[in-house]
A and B are shown apart, each in its own frame.
Chain A
Amino acid sequence: MNVLKKLSIKNLKLNTKRTIGTIIGIILSTSLICAVISMGFNFQQTFLNNAIENGGYYHLKISELEEKDIEVLNRNRNISKISKIYELNYGKDENARIDIYSMDIDVFKSRSYKIVNGRFPKNENEIIVNDWFLSGNDYRVGDTVEIPTYKKEVFQKNQKYKIVGVFEQKEIGFGEYIITTNEKSDVIDAYIVLKNPKNYKKDILNILGEDTKDIDNSYRKIRGINYESKNYGSTYNINDNILEYEVLAFNSTFLATLITVISIVLLIIIVTSVFCIRNSFAIATTEKTKLYGMLISVGATKKQIRKNVIYEGFILGLIAIPIGIICGYLASYILIIIMNAIMGESFLFGSTAVSFNFNLIPAVIAIVLAMLTIYLSSLSSAIKASHTSPIKQLRNTDDIKIKSKKLKTPKFITKFFKTGGALAYKNLKRSKKKYRTTVISLTVSILVFIALYTFINEVFSVTDEIYIKYDYNVIASSEHNLDFDDIDNIKKLDGVKKVYTTYVLTKGSSYMKNTDFNHVTNMDFAAQDCEEDDQDEEVCGPQYIAIDLLIFDPETFKEYCHKAKIDYASVKDKAILNDDYSDQEENGKIISKRIFDYQKGDLLPAVLNDKNKHFKIGAVTDVNPYGREDPYIMEPRLIVSFAYFDEKIIPQTLYIDATNAKEAIKKIKTINPALHFSNMEEEVESMRNLSLIVSIFLYGFITVITLIGITNIFNTITSNMELRQKEFAMLKSVGMTKKEFNRMINLETIFYSFKSLFYGITIGILLSYLIHLGINKSVSLKYHLPIIPIIICIIFVFLLVSIIMKYSINKISRQNTIETIRNDNI
């Protein structure tokens, strides 16, 4: 092996602590990069799994096909698989459609349907149904049912089917849904899986018979609403959900945001790592300037010196990068276990646990980035080393750049800290470059800590803020499936504290139109439309203000009055108007305004399902009613009690305040299984769990960045101390006492710490305020100075710097003074 390579290896072995410190720094950076990218892939897979579970795995759906169309598709080389579902029935019921489909069991499974009871049908006389159908009609598994069947809207017969099972589907928007098998029709839904999803644009265009010359443009066209494709008209549907997560087809801002966040995080990691590793190399180069001077004096070329430094980096990388990669994958795996333990199965409101998806790409990217980091870090040191002046190094005159201007020490320093303090001050002033790295490392750790701490706190506060607004934790709703008996039974349940009920008209909409613009303060709320006037001419402009009519039962109405501090007796037969909204003035201040200027006692005219109505306003309030707590849906609401409302109504939604939301939902399901539930607790818990996980990530991230920083700081301070061994030995030899010496060291500690705290805290506070502004676009929270993280930083910084300096001093003081001064071979 050539002598310079031998030198490199020997040097690394000799300076074990610094070598290990640098290796640890590289391991941390590499593992962080690997873990972050791996988590990105894990999330991608999880979201994909979630999308598959919710809607099945397919890329393109084409409806209303015939068998001959399927044959054409089968011949398309871009298609891997076609799942066929035969539509047997265009049935119509008075209240709901009954969809009957035929498919085989593989197709059933590919649609992510799950059998919850019984089995899949064996023939065309058996059916498996969804929960909606079963409970809505009071059927059981084993029953034989008669279902009116239709063909192209024309009644055929009442077909008998035996119910053999019940299935569950996650897709929303279904009514009653029946599946049988072994039956065919000439109306087929084809769920198409592409062979090469990465090529989805071209392949989908090809399947639909569209032009593939200008792919992006053509693809944009086919995504238009009601676009008629050449081959299949408008009966196709592209599964964006799957495509987004499978091939990162960015139609969703969420995914784009995730990628942006990961990129920013990676950038911070790389910058910090380059900084740390570069610092290690810089220290090594500084320590070896004399060595480089000697080598150059005996004839080593610049290229040889440069190669030597880079070779050292190569060795360190060879050891540290593989360890870092393994740690990165391990960390990612452990994080997933923790996340699943905390979130249970409610990750991001889906029901799939986060999955670990092993992929080589994080390792490849981490290796490339780490090698680049090491190369860049060592390059600047390599260039510096190769430009070492042998004369200056052999004469030791390069350490301090003497300025012609005399350096004055401030009086208070000499007064309080005496000679030791003066020496410390001069040292810091004259060797600024050496200390800059430590100060910057500390500053970065401090400001990152303060900023992220604020972010975490703000996220938790926002979650609390949203939760506090609700008076209930369960929402149960139904489309015509709820009756008064149900409500009474629910109210009697153990654990149900309060039930607020809203009603809807049995026929028509609960949205009214108000056309009396004299009382409207802001015409922006008016619906714009074009209508024909008396002369049959089309007139476009504001036509009406939509009003949300909320019908409560008397108890709920009373509770609302109590909440809004309105006298129930005086308004029970009248309407309560809630029409305030938030507006931003020119100076940026947010104030509350009203849409109307109706006052108590006024008559509010409205049109309800083409009938003219007048509502006497009993009160005006800014307290949002049940179910309308969201402050960002800005429309006027009129609340009435059904006891004094002369339209036919049925209950629609129950807002339930229960001791335990999960338990309450279980019990309510036994009363009416056809209800749809929202567990507000679960949603908030999900949000809190998500915040918790984000906190774990962020605190984990801060910890690793801080560790990299600490490695950096440890290296810088210890090596600076070692380089000053001779200086310390000389000071002792001329009579400096231990007390004076300690004073000098303590002052340097204070200087370091103050400087980094000053910059770190100032920038940290600025960042925390920006974060606060960013998060508080949606919720108004007061800004609080991040006192706790500031105190933590102050204590931490002083502790860290003192410990490291004291450790170095202890090591040095064990050495013999004279030997140190005499020994030039340090």
Chain B
Amino acid sequence: MEILKIENLTKIYGKGNTKVIALNNVSFSVEKGEFVAIVGASGSGKSTLLHLIGGVDRPTSGKVYIDGKNIYDYSDDELAIFRRRQVGLIYQFYNLIPILNIEENITLPLNLDGRKVDQKYLNDLIKLLGLDHRRHHLPNELSGGEQQRTSIGRALITNPAIVLADEPTGNLDSKASDEIVDLLKKSNRDYKQTIIMITHNLDIAKCADRIITIEDGKIVKEV
């Protein structure tokens, strides 16, 4: 079953002499439960693609269908609500709220939605992330790996349609990187979580079911 469909997605920044075509007419689709890696050189348009899929930015033209709905038909508020329910975003630099503890950071999307937290699910998730002993600590008391695991927890708490990970291991040492990749693989394998991950590390990319290569805003290879 198709969970994601991109149609002729284009993103242009600036005008005239400073015009930059970050994405140029990109089209592809992702099946539910697929683990897709997007690779490419720096400035190739990978992050732009990811943010457009997540509804964090709006395209110049093109459509993004998630679960059959074109997300750019939504208003800003509808998009925000969509994002907290259907999309899990993981960033290279974690982007945790510094004044919320680990548990609060993880449950943030649910709290924004005004939904009650399934305490059993939360406990299981925190255990899975290996953060049981750190749940009441603040982000600045954690290592990079622990922070990124928290970020994954936040992305998974709502059981989103898609998890989008932008260079999730970019800021980590090899051991922490392995932990993160394992977690992502586990959530994909055991919970059929659809994951799209950007990486410049081919070894990590090989863990995915499919690798899409982007160059100068266009898909050049699909493996």
Point out residues on A near B: beta carbons under 8 Å: 2-4, 6-7, 10-11, 14, 291, 294-304, 389-391, 394, 404, 823-826
Contact = CB atoms under 8 A, between A and B. Distances in A.
Contacts of A300: 80, 84, 112
B95 A303 contact: no
Interface string B74-96: 00110011111101010101111
Given A3-B107, A11-B99, A297-B56, 11 more contacts: A3-B100, A295-B97, A295-B108, A298-B154, A299-B83, A299-B85, A299-B87, A300-B80, A391-B57, A824-B93, A825-B98
B113 interface: yes
B132 to A, nearest CB: 21
Contacts of B87: 299
Given A297-B56, A298-B89, A394 B80 contact: no
A389 B56 CA distance: 8
B99 A14 contact: yes
12 contacts: A3-B100, A7-B100, A10-B100, A295-B97, A298-B84, A299-B80, A299-B84, A299-B85, A300-B112, A391-B51, A825-B94, A825-B140
A53 to B, nearest CB: 62
Mostly helix, strand, loop or mixed at chain B's interface?
A: helix
A2 B96 contact: no
Nearest to B140: A825
- Nearest 8 Cβ contacts at the A-B interface: A299-B84, A3-B111, A299-B83, A301-B80, A10-B99, A825-B98, A301-B77, A294-B95
Contacts of A2: 111, 114
A691 to B, nearest CB: 54
A304 B140 contact: no
A3 B109 CA distance: 10
Contact of A298 (B93, B98, B109, B140): B109
Contacts of A823: 140
A302 B77 contact: yes
Given A825-B98, A825-B139, A295 B112 contact: yes
B215 interface: no
B174 interface: no
B42 interface: no
Contacts, number: 82
A297 B57 CA distance: 10
B30 to A, nearest CB: 21
B67 interface: no
B18 interface: yes
Nearest to A11: B99
Interface string B99-124: 11000100111011110000000000
Contacts of A297: 54, 56, 83, 89, 95
Contacts of A390: 56-57
Contacts of B76: 301-302
A391 B111 contact: no
A298 B112 contact: yes
Contacts of B111: 2-4
B85 A3 contact: no
Given A299-B83, A299-B84, A304 B112 contact: yes
A7 B81 CA distance: 19
B150 to A, nearest CB: 12
Contacts of B99: 7, 10-11, 14
B57 to A, nearest CB: 5
Contact of A7 (B94, B97, B109, B154): B97
Contacts of B94: 824-825
B53 to A, nearest CB: 13
